[in-house]
């Protein structure tokens, strides 16, 4: 695994040496450009079939209704870029949403109901990070265990009941700021901030180094264990923010999250270009991928294709993206 990681990052370096703006754009942001092009193509084709696809209502539901997936995928991308994985994030969002709703209904100040779950998310992920970094348990194993614990805990605490009677002020995801839905603003701001942080700050850069070549990263003075814990805490932070958007978009909070939410989030990160081998990927890509998913789901409805085909389409899409990426890498080496 480590060997391939080194090979891939050296391939990336070689590509970066090539000249030409378009070529550089394609080699640095190849995946992002591909996903963006796919979104544009989809919008053009579906709008020709059914113009109501680009109605304001539908655009709002595409962009705002799925913003929480994009926000959660930001943290997931960072985890994947450092060569780890987290399959427990879906269950975590469910647990945090329940905490948030319970606080809101119990009459705590709204901001407590919003932000206490964020802290809880960071704390839970700190434990996961410590188990991965210091106890040296592979992240897939730790988060698989955490998935069971969180999911079981959620059902046994709530007993499957829904939380209703949420205070109107609590429902931030339904609000607009200057006419723009709040989730959309949150998605764009968080994505750009995280992207800039990962590209221009030493801490952000060190994540790529850790994922690309852990030995070299440690040799150059990066504290690998502490960074790994930090990445999981940051991931918990974004999962917490995603929870705010998720929990406040409806009048009720269900005791379950959409099935396979963690896989949707991982898939968004991966389609967006985060290499599961670690060392590459950007959060702009993962957000674009989350938008693409939402658009495909909506497109099926507007073109009268049964929504039951949604996952088959997503599966084909992931395969096509991954195969294209692999072929591109093989050609450039």
Residue 123 interacts with another protein (CB under 8 A): yes or no: no
Instruction: Concatenate the DSSP letters of all residues of 167-184 into one string.
Output: -GGG-GGG-EETTEEHHH
Binding to another protein (CB under 8 A) within 202-221 occurs at none
Measured from the CB atom, the residue of 156 and 304 that comes closer to another protein is 156
Measured from the CB atom, the residue of 84 and 249 that comes closer to another protein is 84
Residue 313 interacts with another protein (CB under 8 A): yes or no: yes
The neighbouring-strand residues paired with 253 are 163
Least separation in angstroms between residue 155's CB and another protein is 4
Measured from the CB atom, the residue of 138 and 167 that comes closer to another protein is 138
Residue 72 interacts with another protein (CB under 8 A): yes or no: no
Q: Is 163 helix (H, G, I), strand (E, B) or coil?
A: strand
Q: Is 248 helix (H, G, I), strand (E, B) or coil?
A: coil
Residue 106 interacts with another protein (CB under 8 A): yes or no: no
User: What does each C-alpha distance from 109 to 76, 96, 112, 163 come to in angstroms?
Assistant: 30, 16, 5, 17
Measured from the CB atom, the residue of 151 and 227 that comes closer to another protein is 151
Place of tokens 């674009």: 288
Binding to another protein (CB under 8 A) within 266-295 occurs at 266-267, 270, 276-277
Instruction: Concatenate the DSSP letters of all residues of 253-301 into one string.
Output: B-SS--TTHHHHHHHHHHHTT--TTSS---HHHHHHHHHHHHHHHHHHH
Residue 330 interacts with another protein (CB under 8 A): yes or no: yes
Tally of CB atoms within 10 A around 213 = 20
Residue 151 interacts with another protein (CB under 8 A): yes or no: yes
Least separation in angstroms between residue 305's CB and another protein is 9
Per-residue binder mask for another protein (CB under 8 A), 250-269, x = binder: ---------xx--x--xx--
Measured from the CB atom, the residue of 103 and 154 that comes closer to another protein is 154
Helix 56-65 and helix 283-302, axial crossing angle in degrees, nearest 10: 140
Place of tokens 């050609």: 331
Least separation in angstroms between residue 62's CB and another protein is 19
Least separation in angstroms between residue 286's CB and another protein is 14
User: What does each C-alpha distance from 298 to 108, 117, 175, 180, 282 come to in angstroms?
Assistant: 37, 30, 22, 20, 25
User: What does each C-alpha distance from 202 to 33, 197, 229 come to in angstroms?
Assistant: 25, 9, 17
How many amino acids of this chain bind another protein (CB under 8 A)?
49
The residue from 315, 328, 331, 332 that contacts another protein (CB under 8 A) is: 315
Could you list the residues that contact another protein (CB under 8 A)? 1, 3, 85, 87, 131, 135-138, 140-142, 144-149, 151-156, 259-260, 263, 266-267, 270, 276-277, 306, 308-316, 318-319, 322-323, 326-327, 330
């Amino acid at each position: 695994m480590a060997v391939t990681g080194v090979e891939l990052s050296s391939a990336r370096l070689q590509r970066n040496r090539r000249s030409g703006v378009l070529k550089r754009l394609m080699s640095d942001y190849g995946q992002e450009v591909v996903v963006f092009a796919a979104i544009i193509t989809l919008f053009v084709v579906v709008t020709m079939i059914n113009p109501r696809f680009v109605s304001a209502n539908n655009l709002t539901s595409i962009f705002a209704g799925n913003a929480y997936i994009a926000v959660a995928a930001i943290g997931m991308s960072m985890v994947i870029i450092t060569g780890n994985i987290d399959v427990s994030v879906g269950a975590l969002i469910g647990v945090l949403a329940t905490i948030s709703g319970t606080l809101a209904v119990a009459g705590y100040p709204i901001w407590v109901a919003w932000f206490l779950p964020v802290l809880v998310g960071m704390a839970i992920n700190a434990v996961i990070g410590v188990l991965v970094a210091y106890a040296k348990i592979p992240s897939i194993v730790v988060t698989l265990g955490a998935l069971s614990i969180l999911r079981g805990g959620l059902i046994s605490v709530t007993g499957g009941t829904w939380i209703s009677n949420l205070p109107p002020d609590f429902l931030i995801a339904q609000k607009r700021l200057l006419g723009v839905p709040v989730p959309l603003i949150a998605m764009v701001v968080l994505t750009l901030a995280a992207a800039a942080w990962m590209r221009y700050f030493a801490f952000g850069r060190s994540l790529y180094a850790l994922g690309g070549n852990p030995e070299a990263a440690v040799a150059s003075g990066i504290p690998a264990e502490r960074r790994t814990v930090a990445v999981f805490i940051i991931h918990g932070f974004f999962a917490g923010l995603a929870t705010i958007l998720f929990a406040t978009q409806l009048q009720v909070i269900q005791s379950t999250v959409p099935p396979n939410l963690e896989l949707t989030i991982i898939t968004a990160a991966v389609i967006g270009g985060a290499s599961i081998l670690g060392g590459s990927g950007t959060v702009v890509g993962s957000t674009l991928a989350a938008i693409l998913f939402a658009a495909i789901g909506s497109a099926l409805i507007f073109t009268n294709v049964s929504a039951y085909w949604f996952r088959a389409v997503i599966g084909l899409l992931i395969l096509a993206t991954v195969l294209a990426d692999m072929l591109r890498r093989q050609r450039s080496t």
